[in-house]
Amino acid sequence: MPHSTAIPTTVTIEDVVALVRKYARRSDLDMVWLAYDVANRAHSGQNRKSGEPYIVHPLAAAYILAGMRIDVTIIVAALLHDVPEDTAVTLESIENDFGPDVAGMVRGITKLGKLKYRGAERYIENLRKMFVAMAEDVRVMIIKFADRIHNLTTLGSLEEKKRYRIALESLEIYAPIAHRLGMGEFKGLLEDLSFPYVYPKDFERTKTLRDKLFTDAGNYIDQTLKIVRAELKEAGIHYLDAHGRKKQLYSFYQKLIKKNWEADKIYDIVALRIIVEDIADCYATLGIIHKIWRPLKGRIKDYIAQPKPNGYQSLHTTIFGPDGSVIEFQIRTREMHYEAEFGVAAHWHYDERGVKLPAKDIIWAKELAQVQKDILVNLSDLERLKVDFFRNRIFTFTPKGDVIDLPEDATPVDFAYNVHSEIGNKCAGARVNDQMVSLDTPLQSGDVVEIIVDKNRRGPSQDWLFTVKTNQARSHIKNSIKASRLTSWFKFILPQKKKSSKAV
């Protein structure tokens, strides 16, 4: 069940086919071979900076994706992804050989690759293109991640400046997008491969610290797992897998910074992950764990009933385990596990039974792309981009569970305008997590916000301009005030129609 994307140094087409064979039909394999032939011939004579033949790169990208048991059309597009840009073979001929679907993906990747911008300009342009590509076809991003992950493993052969630029871009742009798409596995790889190039000193410090903690943890992890397995068996709960998961390096680093480098305040350096058949078993397993060990207060999280904004689902609990150790458990179903590892890519993933997971609604990804596009159009410098973009955003929810993505300290008024301009204009009050709050209250991630609308309200209050955080709200408020001033001015100079002025 647990899979890993270990990337071998050199990949052959036989390696890729061996992986694809595990889940695809025999007839699909022909397409993979054909794509390899086309790419291999097109790239022949080309070498990478590392000196290897170029074909090694598309093969590695395809290999990473095949390790995720992903749809064959995506593997084929990955094999061909650099062909139109770097060789004489055209998109038209790819379309003739492989059809419009594969050609469309390759076109999307080629578009992303054609970036001639420098500095901040390039950075923003990059982001914008990525969001456009993502909105058009999320599969393009999935291939782009695999492409970038392989490039990161071979950064060593590039000159230092370029190395830093690519690593930084992966850390600041690619990883957050992978995260937002729920692709935990890719996010982790992008971060951990970039980390040493971007923050070399912190990387060393973090690694030393983590290695020591892992060594210390080894014993009680095995011990704890043994006890849990026995108890689950006794209770008749069939688990598909129970294993220890080591926290990824960069994510450990982020926690360390938050906790002032006090490693003993980090409880999930190793988590124990239990994968069961269904949701009922998730809760039953949680009960069993709490029966054996005492849970830490405030550390029980039900992301099944309330998934994270990127769709992540699991039950988390931290317990006082054997020998006074503190351990986090993560309990989930097989489907939740795939979603957590692959995110949107789970749509194109085949599980061990050869079943494709049900397509989840990915409209939110398109909406997100639109929102980000709007933000980016108004951006002019890198610093603001970094501040505004992913870091300082909060995710709030409508009572129906829709995610509203806002900047930090946004108010219920920002929320209302984000839902609809009319909701904003008619906003009369707000309930946050079932409590009435004033309209200037800063919202927090995870808040459920209900806007109280007064249909008779004339329009927004000018005071709101001092507390709102989004340009969207600000411009709606200004426009609405301007419009109402005009209306009253017209009312003043134009005689009122008899009909409309009813006697009170």
**Does the annotation mark 86 as catalytic?**
yes
Written as six digits, the tokens of 126 are 């990059």
Total of residues contacting Mn ion (CB under 5 A): 2
- Output 62 or 336, the one with its CB closest to Mn ion: 62
Instruction: Identify the H or E element spanning 240.
Output: strand 239-246
Extract the tokens encoding 12: 């052959």
Q: Does residue 405 touch Mn ion according to CB under 5 A? A: no
Give the CA count within 13 Å in the CB-facing half-sphere of 465. 11
Binding positions for Mn ion, 10-69, rule CB under 5 A = none
71 or 147: CB nearest Mn ion: 147
Distance CA 43, CA 210 (A): 41
- With H, G, I as helix, E, B as strand and everything else as coil, classify residue 316: strand
What is the smallest separation between the CB atom of 55 and Mn ion, expressed in angstroms? 11
Q: Least CB distance from residue 350 to Mn ion, whole Å?
A: 24
Closest distance to Mn ion from the beta carbon of 424 (Å):
44
Q: Which is nearer to Mn ion, 46 or 96 (CB)?
A: 46
Q: How far is the CB of 388 from Mn ion (least distance, A)?
A: 29
- Indicate the residue among 82 and 328 with the shorter CB distance to Mn ion: 82
Cα separation of the two ends of the chain: 73
The distance of closest approach from Cβ of residue 57 to Mn ion in the complex, given in angstroms and rounded to an integer, is 6
| Of 85, 136, 137, 351, catalytic | 85
Nearer to Mn ion, 147 or 185 (CB): 147
The answer to whether residue 440 is catalytic is: no
Amino acid identity, position 332: R
Residue 471 structure tokens = 């340009």
| Residue of 28, 52, 86, 409 marked catalytic | 86
Phi-psi region of 99 (alpha: psi -120 to 50; beta: other; left: phi over 0): left
Sign of CA dihedral 30, 32, 33, 38: positive
Q: Which is nearer to Mn ion, 149 or 272 (CB)?
A: 149
The partner residues of 242 in beta bridges, in order of sequence, read 274
Question: CA-to-CA distance for 283 and 60, rounded, in angstroms?
Answer: 40
Q: Closest CB to Mn ion among 82 and 192?
A: 82
* Min dist. Cβ of residue 221 to Mn ion (A): 38
Q: Which is nearer to Mn ion, 109 or 410 (CB)?
A: 109
Q: Of 147 and 169, which CB lies nearer to Mn ion in the complex structure?
A: 147
Geometric angle at alpha carbon 378, from 372 and 381, rounded to 5° = 100
Min separation Cβ 60 and Mn ion, Å: 9
Backbone phi, psi, residue 51, to 5°: 95, -15
Is 448:432 a contact under the CB 8 Å cutoff? yes
462-501: which residues touch Mn ion (CB under 5 A)?
Answer: none
Q: Where are the alpha helices (DSSP H) in 22-170?
A: 26-42, 56-67, 72-79, 83-86, 91-113, 119-136, 138-153, 160-169
Contact present, 371 and 379 (Cβ < 8 Å): no
Q: Tell me how far apart the alpha carbons of residues 199 and 496 are, in angstroms, rounded to a whole number.
A: 69
As measured in angstroms, the least distance from the Cβ of 269 to Mn ion is 34
Residue nearest to Mn ion (CB): 147
Chain Cα centroid distance, residue 36: 30
Beta strands 270-276 and 326-333 are parallel
Angle at 178 between CA 99 and CA 406, to 5 degrees: 120
Query: CA 405 to CA 396: how far, in whole Å?
Result: 6
Least distance from C-beta 85 to Mn ion, angstroms? Answer: 8
C-alpha to C-alpha distance for 256 and 213, rounded to whole angstroms: 13
CB crowding 112-150: b at 16 or more within 10 Å, else e: beeeeeeebeebbebbbbbbbbbbbbbbbbbbbbbbbbb
Q: Binders of Mn ion among 72-101, rule CB under 5 A?
A: 82
Give the x-and-dash track for 125-164 against Mn ion (CB under 5 A). ----------------------x-----------------
Q: Where along the sequence are the contacts to Mn ion (CB under 5 A)?
A: 82, 147
Catalytic residues: 85-86
